[in-house]
Amino acid sequence: MKFARSVSVMTLAVAMMGVFSSGAMAQDVAPAVDVSQSTQGVAKYQTVGSADSPDKVLHVDVMLTGDGNLAYQVLRNGQPVIEPSRLGFILANAPKLDRYFVFDKSAVSSHDETWDLPWGERSHVRNHYNELRVDVAQPTWDNRKMAVVFRIYDDGVGFRYEFPDQAPLEKVEIMDELTEFAVADPATAWWAVAGEWNREEYVYKETPLKEVSEAQSPMTLKTDKGIYISFHEAALVDYAGYWLRRVDGQRLKTRLAPSALGAPVVREAPFTTPWRTMQITDSAAALYNGSDLILNLNEPNKLGDVSWVKPYKYVGIWWGMHLNTWTWEAGPRHGATTEHTKAYMDFAAQNGFRGVLVEGWNKGWEDWFGKGFNFSFTQSYPDFDLADISAYGLKKGVHLIGHHETSGNVANYEPQMADGFALYEKYKVDSVKTGYVVDAGGARVKGPDGSIRYAWNDSQEMVRHFELTVTEAAKHHIAIDTHEPIKDTGLRRTYPNWVSREGQRGMEYNAWGDPQNPPEHEANLIFTRMLTGPMDFTPGILSLQGQGKPIPSTQAKQLALYVVLYSPIQMAADLPENYAKYPKPFQFIKDVPVDWEQTVMLNGEIGDFATIARKDKASDNWYVGAVTDEQARDVAVPLGFLEPGRSYTAQIYRDGPNAGMEGDARFDIVIESKTVTAADTLKIRLAPGGGMAIRLVAGKKAK
């Protein structure tokens, strides 16, 4: 421990000098073999392994009950946050893995490393944790073995199960995972219902934790003592996604998404489960600014050189279909024509956008919704000339973005997928948006015997499919943006070509949603969905008008979304003719970058508001965005993140004095410039449904 600790301090000092080291430091510590009574007031449990986070903020105990049930608890600064909660599995092909465990061994080790992201919210990520490993066995059942491994950070915990290679349990058919999270204190939960027909796309609810039924992860809580907790998972690979079912009181339990093929998870040992994660902090901002728990728990980049993965902004033949003025299918109102695409490419080139997305270019859209039987991924409609369009764009430095809508019909898509990517590669298309529009439980997959089965989007079979799309695309140097995806569990670290995804309600709900996205939606997203990774939200509707429905937002808030909702690919989602009407606010969309050196949330509360500052990777400029819900509020923007002594020009886009989320008030925007330094704090008023965006252009360096 002594050695590991002095290394951590060294690494921190080096990091502060701006030089980043990499390489894990690990050291095994004598196992805690002593099986003693817990001192935490839960005498019926025996602690068989314990460890603290590096700065001793969080503490984890792993325990056995008298019956040999495995459990764990989490304390923060000595106070229980997660009370003793059970661990284990129900199997379909063997007795349960829960009772009759005996302690085998445990070990604690310390780790501290810093690694680089090819693109992201920041350039460097520190991975600093203590690991606690506990091995148990079941003498009653042929001495079957299992281990549980905890990684304890100062602001969160991840743990996973390990199934070692062993004769008594080779094939593992998991019927149910018994992992529990028993929240110690009464809490408020921000959550979206799980396992229902509209997949991940439900409006968030804010209720007492005691009123949660079954929630998607991530679910975020604030306890009555002011502790923030977000439950999720990391590195979801070849396993089913979990939902959080409230058992009773404040006790939550994982429920694995069902499988169309049998048990929700079928694996051969040895294997590990995904990490079960809890971010635990004492402020909402700390939850957002945290230790990159989810990314850190994923495997490093497996793709090698990923310089072909480019962050960019894009426009697309898209909003026109959501407004129902254009159609995806060919016909008199067809959006994806050669002529329209070239016009969009001209617009992209004029405004500095790298990409043009085109949906509805391929055959099969006549009766697609939830069906997708006729989709071809290689044949264009006759009025869309792929070769001509791609060449036209490339001459202007504009790249066509491909589109593979599948309607969840994976059985129709998978056999065509490689050809579809190869076709795009031939025409130098280096990103593809995929889509799975089908009700939950309706994805159509082929079983091992060749028969057609209907699957949940978060089932093991679909988790495998989503990974296959990304690895297959990588062979063709194509980046993937998945819509109606599996939840994000940080696999962008392992596969940096998985650049973005949807996975909650995006802007499209403001075109046709019933209901539309409520004004608090983005302030909910930031502390839930956005904790998991980039979202292709498709912001920037400056016209603020859906299909007969005004959008309850101000123009300034539309600009703020480019900063507060992170994605390395961001759409300027409105129609070019609408941007022509609003050239002044549009300037911010042209200026804002998509790849960041640093990110810091300055202030925020779940579902209420958030102010986020990010530093451009390619310049010394900073950008700030803030959004609010239906309440007006004054936000403080302390500029202490700027370089001391240097002056910056702040280009401010804020809600005007009469701004609001209805009628003409939505268009009341003030655009002004000020000279500022790190010593200043800006105070900016956000209107109901409003927001603000600031571009801070660096002046000459201080002497």
Binding site for Ca ion (CB under 5 A): 483, 502
Q: Residue 595 binds what, of Ca ion, ligand NOJ, none (CB under 5 to 8 Å, by partner type)?
A: none
Smallest separation (angstroms) from Ca ion to the CB of 530: 16
Residue 579 Cα distances to 19, 584, 587, 690, angstroms? 42, 9, 9, 19
Q: Residue 405 binds what, of Ca ion, ligand NOJ, none (CB under 5 to 8 Å, by partner type)?
A: ligand NOJ
Residue with Cβ nearer Ca ion (275 or 509): 509
Binding flag, residue 201, ligand NOJ (CB under 6 A): no
What is the signed CA dihedral for 238, 244, 245, 251, rounded to 10 degrees? Answer: 120
458 contacts ligand NOJ (rule: CB under 6 A): no
The correct pick among 61, 131, 430, 502 for binding ligand NOJ (CB under 6 A) is 502
359 touches ligand NOJ (CB under 6 A)? yes
Our CB check for ligand NOJ shows the closer of 540 and 607 to be 540
Residue 630 makes CB contacts below 8 A (sequence gap 6+) with 518, 519, 520, 552, 661, 688, 689
Shortest Å distance, C-beta 455 to Ca ion: 18
The residue among 476 and 505 lying less far from Ca ion, judged by its C-beta, is 505
Closest separation in Å from C-beta 464 to ligand NOJ: 22
In whole angstroms, the minimum distance from the beta carbon of 317 to ligand NOJ comes to 10
Rounded distance, CA 228 to CA 238, Å?
Answer: 30
Question: Which residue, 301 or 434, is less far from ligand NOJ as judged by CB?
Answer: 434
C-beta of 42 vs 438, nearer to Ca ion: 438
When the beta carbons of 176 and 200 are compared against ligand NOJ, the nearer one is 200
How many Å apart are CA 337 and CA 44, to the nearest integer?
70
Q: Per CB under 6 A, does 481 bind ligand NOJ?
A: no
Rounded CA-CA distance 494/479 in Å is 13
Q: Which does 121 bind (CB under 5 to 8 A by kind): ligand NOJ, Ca ion, none?
A: none
Tell me whether strands 28-29 and 102-116 are parallel, antiparallel or unpaired. antiparallel
> Does 134 engage in binding with ligand NOJ (CB under 6 A)?
no
Cα angle 192-517-543, degrees, rounded to a multiple of 5? 155
Say if residues 444 and 454 touch (Cβ distance below 8 Å): yes
Pick what 133 binds: Ca ion, ligand NOJ, none; C-beta below 5 to 8 Å, kind-dependent: none
Interaction between residue 629 and ligand NOJ (CB under 6 A): no
Give the list of residues 6+ apart from residue 642 with CB closer than 8 angstroms, or none: 622, 648, 676, 677, 678, 696
441 binds, among Ca ion, ligand NOJ, none (CB under 5 to 8 A by kind): none
Token representation of residue 82: 């997660």
Q: Is the Cα torsion angle 121, 125, 126, 127 positive or negative in sign? A: positive
Number of residues that bind ligand NOJ (CB under 6 A): 8
User: Strand 187-191 relative to strand 219-223: parallel, antiparallel, unpaired?
Assistant: antiparallel
Please identify which residue in the block is written with the tokens 């025996």. Answer: 46
Q: In this structure, what are the phi and psi dihedrals at residue 346, rounded to the nearest 5 degrees? A: -60, -45
Instruction: Give every CB contact of residue 577 below 8 A, 6+ residues apart in sequence.
Output: none
Please tell me whether residue 404 binds ligand NOJ under the rule CB under 6 A. no
Query: What H or E segment, with its residue span, contains residue 78?
Result: none
Binding mask 299-318 for ligand NOJ (x = CB under 6 A): -------------------x
405 in contact with ligand NOJ (CB under 6 A): yes
The reply to whether 437 sits near ligand NOJ by the rule CB under 6 A is yes
385 interface partner picked from Ca ion, ligand NOJ, none, CB below 5 to 8 A per type: none
Distance CA(627)–CA(606), nearest Å, equals 11
Specify the amino acid at residue 196: E
- Find the shortest distance in angstroms from Cβ 583 to ligand NOJ: 26
CB of 394 to Ca ion, least distance (A): 29
Q: Which of 98, 176, 177, 508 binds ligand NOJ (CB under 6 A)?
A: 508
Type of residue at 550: P
Q: Does 574 engage in binding with ligand NOJ (CB under 6 A)?
A: no
Task: Specify whether the CB–CB gap between 583 and 555 falls below 8 A.
Answer: no
Length of the chain: 703
What CA–CA distance (Å, rounded) separates 691 from 553?
Answer: 8
Q: Among residues 276, 274, 300, 237, which one has the least CA distance to residue 24?
A: 300
Cis, bond preceding 118 (omega within 30 deg of 0): no
Nearer to ligand NOJ, 72 or 537 (CB): 537
Burial class (CB in 10 A: 0-12, 13-18, 19+), 323: middle
Q: What SS3 class is residue 217?
A: coil
Among 435, 593, 625, 660, binds ligand NOJ (CB under 6 A): 435
Q: Is 73 helix (H, G, I), strand (E, B) or coil?
A: strand
CB 221 within 8 A of CB 229: yes
Please report how close the Cβ of residue 509 comes to Ca ion at its closest, in angstroms.
8
How far from 273 is each of 266, 346, 359, 461, CA to CA, in Å? 11, 48, 37, 15
Which one of ligand NOJ, Ca ion, none is in contact with 522 (Cβ closer than 5 to 8 A by kind)?
Answer: none
Instruction: Using the minimum distance from each CB to Ca ion, give the nearer residue, 155 or 201.
Output: 201
CB 461 → ligand NOJ: shortest distance, Å?
21
User: C-beta of 508: minimal distance to ligand NOJ in Å?
Assistant: 6
Residue 529 contacts ligand NOJ per CB under 6 A: no
Residues 368-387 that bind ligand NOJ (CB under 6 A): none
Partner in contact with 313, chosen from ligand NOJ, Ca ion, none, beta carbon below 5 to 8 Å by kind: none
Q: How far is the CB of 415 from ligand NOJ (least distance, A)?
A: 20
| CA–CA dist 558, 540 (Å, integer) | 5
Nearer to Ca ion, 183 or 438 (CB): 438
Q: Which one, 278 or 573, has the nearer CB to ligand NOJ?
A: 573
By CB under 6 A, residue 483 contacts ligand NOJ: yes
User: CA 50 to CA 155: how far, in whole Å?
Assistant: 17
> Closest approach of Cβ 483 to ligand NOJ, in Å?
4
| Residue appearing with tokens 């042929």 | 142
Instruction: State the catalytic residues.
Output: 508
Nearer to Ca ion by Cβ, of 291 and 482: the residue is 482
Sites of contact with ligand NOJ (CB under 6 A): 318, 359, 405, 435, 437, 483, 502, 508
